[in-house]
Structure 1
Amino acid sequence: MPLPGDVALPPSGHAIAPPSLVRPSPSGDPSGPGFLPAYPAGLDAVPDPAKKASIGQMAMFGSASSPLPDLPAAPVQASAPRQAPAAAPAHPAREVIDLLWFNPASMLRIRKHPAWKDLLADVKPRPDDEDLDDDAPQGKRPSAKDRRDILAILARGKPLTVDALDQVIADAIGDDGAFTPPLALVAGELELLFDEVETLKALVAAVSPLAVRDKRLKDAVDAIHEAFKMPWVQGATSVVEGMTAQLKDALAQSAKEVNLRTIDAHVERALLENRLFQKRMVMSQTRIRTLLHAPGGGARVAAFVPESVGKELPACVRFGARVMAELRLSPDHRDKAMLRVIAVSGVIRNWRSGWR
């Protein structure tokens, strides 16, 4: 005779195993999918046969002497179909080195450099080398070998950063103190600087329509027009930069409804489209002055390219670049060193996104 609280056994004499979907949780408490539901508060886990079962107990357990009823199997949830991994693009994104310009007259010295001799020994001709049409007239077009070699160095050579140039200068000073300008392959962000006078002119052109209804702004524009009548002003870059700052300040105070960023973007676009870059007389030639920045900011160095190269540069204020240059001590007291660029390439991080 079963004792109170015992579960009745079937004729075989073995206790009925719980349903396969009923399993204890790691904590011992029945919970979660596949576990028995928690007992309602105030309801005994197993009814006492000596007591009269309540309707709720009978509904859940039946009589105390009957075996535990089979619980309905929990619905099996279909697992989500596994998605096949996305196919790799046919042309994975990677850095692209785009040769913008180089000086063929420097190739003899470049090929003699010990750091690049082994690299150039492995460069092989390509079937399409002679097919490149760069619009250069016959006789002035660089040879396919020159272009192939300089591009190989720019793409495969190990570049320095701007931070490392101090050590390069120190290594180029002989025991007798003589300095021999070394060649260096340098990577960074190349920033194009705009001509100071042309920047002020473009700003005046953008602001003039607003000055019609704003006396303070009109007075500032008129003062600039008067200053430009003096021939010495256009050669005094510091004076021109001061007038530009004053005009921007007047614009900020007067035209509250005007977005200053919109004005700056208009001026920048006009200067870029017309290639109105900052120029300096360096080593007996007029050259475009740019700044090569270390990645992430910090150190920077002035980099000078021939004036004619301005037409080859991308229409970006700042872009990734690798330059081959002669490292020289700067004649400008504000800089200790400068780069005389003899080759420049753009570095496109992802060719699908362009120069951004």
Structure 2
Amino acid sequence: MPETLELVWIDPKSTARIRKRPPWQRLVDDAGRDPPAGPELPGQTVPAEDRHDVFLILARSAATDGHGVAAALSDAVREDGKFAPPLVLVAGELRFPFDELEALKAAVTTATPFAGGDEPLKAAVAAANDFLKTPGLLTAPAVVEGLTDRIRQAFGRVRRAVPSGYLDAQIERALLEHRRYQKRMFGGAPQLRALLQGPSDKAPMLVYLPVDLATKLPLYQRFRARLIAAAHLSMDQFEPHAFALEALALARQIPPAAPPR
């Protein structure tokens, strides 16, 4: 049984641009429109013809890797030095890191009931609470992560009547259920920050998606995906990635279910 491809989201303002890319235009022209529409997208207004064409491209076009994106960026620089972000199709495991401050809050909430007779854990939770009460809180992610790690280490030093990995599991569940993903400024607006690990890439690719997409995503922190994106040169001095992908369409790849034994 082949894997399933589920259409998750399309940026309606980008469908004409996607369709105009020559290899994808030929694919759409050759395929025709039978059936005429792609799957419905709850809460999204995308014409049937656009859903069909973009879903077809996501399903049948070959995906590129990080080297391919870098080559597309190089080719997009014109002789006069002008640059226009090229469109690419990429695939791999898409992961949504959680917001660092929200992760600290979840760690405090989860660890507090266990801190009564545990002085190191009580001190770690108290330090985090004092930090969270700071007026006009504005800090680097590494500082917040350090406080979360202190709670994690103190929690793990003592055997407790809970399963191994309890703290991290509860933190992840709380953050995932409330969609507390990382956000960064990109293109003049807050965007979800995600990482796409391609099958042949050593390092993940940086991906930005609209904030309002958070509630439409499957309830998984990571899943296999195919994306159409506009590739941009690096726009954040604190990001280690050489480029950024602005997602324009997203589909989830679902492996076939294992046969019953």
The TM-score, its normalising length taken from structure 1, stands at 0.67
Q: Provide the C-alpha distance between the structure 2 equivalents of 1:133 and 1:109, rounded to a whole number of angstroms.
A: 21
How far has the Cα of 1:343 moved from its partner?
0.5
**Among the aligned pairs, what percent are the same residue?**
37
> CA–CA distance in 2 between the matches of 1:160 and 1:325?
11
Give the match's secondary structure for 1:264: helix
**Partner of 1:345 in structure 2?**
251
Q: Is the 8 A contact 2:99 2:182 kept in 1?
A: yes
- The runs of 4+ residues in structure 1 deviating greater than 6 Å are none
Out of 7, 14, 19, the position equivalent to 1:106 is 14
Between Structure 1 and Structure 2, how many residues are aligned? 256
* Letter aligned with residue 335 of structure 1: H
Query: C-alpha separation between the residues in 2 aligned to 1:348 and 1:286?
Result: 29
Q: Which of 210, 235, 241 does residue 335 from structure 1 map onto?
A: 241
| Aligned-pair Cα RMSD in Å | 2.0
Higher fraction of helix: 2
Kept after mapping to 1: 8 A contact 2:184/2:192: yes
- Cα 1:164–1:128 shift into 2, 3 Å: closer
Question: Could you tell me how far 1:125 is from its partner in structure 2?
Answer: 3.3
1:260 Cα deviation (Å)? 4.6
Residue 142 (structure 2) pairs with residue 238 (structure 1): yes
Match of 2:108 in 1: 204
Separation (CA, whole Å) in 2 of partners of 1:232 and 1:240? 15
Q: CA deviation at 1:123?
A: 3.1
Q: State the Cα distance separating 1:156 from its structure 2 match.
A: 0.5
User: Taking structure 1 as reference, are residues 181 and 296 closer, same or farther at Cα in structure 2, changes over 3 Å only?
Assistant: closer
Aligned to 1:120: 28
Bigger Rg, which one: 1
- 160-169 or 282-291: which moved more? 160-169
Q: Please, which runs of 5 or more residues in structure 1 have no aligned partner?
A: 1-92
SS in 1 for 2:194: strand
Provide the residue aligned with 1:252 in structure 2: 156
User: What SS does the corresponding residue of 1:292 show, helix, strand or coil?
Assistant: strand
- Taking the TM superposition and a 5 Å limit, the aligned residue runs for 1:160-309 are 160-255=64-159, 259-295=163-199, 298-309=202-213
The structure with higher relative contact order (CA 8 Å, sep 6+) is 2
3-state SS of 2:176 partner: helix
Q: In structure 2, what is the Cα distance between the partners aligned to 1:341 and 1:171?
A: 20
In 1, the alpha carbon distance for the partners of 2:117 and 2:222 equals 36
* Cα displacement (A) at 1:254: 3.7
- Point out the more displaced range, 292-301 or 146-155: 292-301
- Unpaired segments ≥5 residues, structure 2: none
Farther-moved stretch of structure 1 (272-281 vs 297-306):
297-306
How far 1:266 sits from its partner (Å)?
1.4
* Residues 188-232 of structure 1: CA deviation (Å, up to 9, x unaligned): 110111011111111111111110121111111011111111134
